[in-house]
Amino acid sequence: MGENINLVRALINCAEKAANIARLCRSNEELLALLVQEKTGAEANERFEHDFKTLADVLIQETIKHEVGELFPAMRDAIQGEESPNFTNKLGDKVTIVVGDTEDETSACLGAVLGDHKAAANALAAGVHQKVVYHNDKLGDIPELPADIDYSNLGIWIDPIDATAEYISGDTIFTNFPGITSTGLDCVTVLIGVYERDSGIPVMGVVAQPFGNKLEELVYSSSLYWGICLPTVQAHNCNFGPREDQRRGQIGIFSSSEDSKILQRFLDLKYELAFSAGAGHKALKVISNDANVYMLSKGSTFRWDTCAPQAILRALGGDVLDYATSVAEQRAVPIKYLAPDANQMVSDSDWKRNANGLIAVRDFETLKELLPKLKAD
């Protein structure tokens, strides 16, 4: 079935449906508060004192898994995401979020989480089952994929709402850098990345900003970017020109928790430092030429954070690299998405983590002076 449908087009439509669901949930503060549940234990990100998942996160993830699995059954068992589909309702009942074959089935499942809020369950179910075809004058021409592509060798990593804390709070803080927001809804992204299971190489990616364009108060439309990097097909819609402010030199973008010694090495190279939320958003700033490099020395991102932007950067001639290995070997060593061997004793969370940190670049020339400086004692 899938060979008659362009996978990238299908993922773009899924990303826009995800954005619609995210906007629907975010448009009503009471509904948003209702949907939030704190992550605990192994699900929580150690970088944050509190970490949250939302029903929007889980619903988006399960919607994408359901739709792609229906269209490309050979991929169904290799579609993974950040969130556990399990919720606990107010009565203490554990509910697994499942997208049904019909709107009524999905509404009934959501109703088990939302209790008396039947209107909210119905509205969310309608969003899940709505037919969405994304059109935008910046989408570009999506090329045909190779006829012999082996869908059974492709896997997907989904981050349904990256920067969940920003999504919940909505508070915006701007930086002094054009195009770079420190916190806020602009930092929220939907990330869908496709990789080859045998090589671990990302080959297709879609990054959507559900709140990329503010049309009026509380009304937004998406900004959406895609890339393909296959041996015979390389394409993208990321035709960004030079940075708006040409007076500035190199710009590095970082998490606010980055090690001060690392930051000083960038300052020594005359970089200006920008700080922003969301791994997907920071990678997108490199894709869009608003920053020259995104670097994280800690192992606090995961495969779902990097697979989609890495595929796009590869289509642009860049990549997302393993920070520790690239610095130690003084060469570009890309992050790969290989599952552990059956004999490897690796915990579920550890093999999904980018344990060695990352360096995202659009231009490999950036690494010539950067890698030696990062290795300096």
Residues acting as catalytic residues: 57, 82, 159, 161-162, 164, 305
CB 235 within 8 A of CB 315: yes
Contact 195, 222 (CB under 8 A): no
CA-closest candidate to residue 281, choices 184, 155, 204? 184
Judge whether 134 and 142 are in contact, CB under 8 Å: no
Block residue for tokens 């690392």: 262
DSSP β-ladder status, 86-88 and 181-183:
unpaired
**Tokens coding 163:** 């920067």
Residue 276 phi, psi dihedral angles, 5° rounding: -155, 160
Contact status, residue 168 vs residue 142, Cβ threshold 8 Å: no
Residue 59 — φ and ψ, nearest 5°?
-65, -40
> Residue 114: what residue type?
L
Alpha helices in the chain (DSSP H): 7-26, 29-35, 55-71, 103-114, 118-129, 164-169, 260-268, 279-287, 303-315, 323-329, 348-352, 367-375
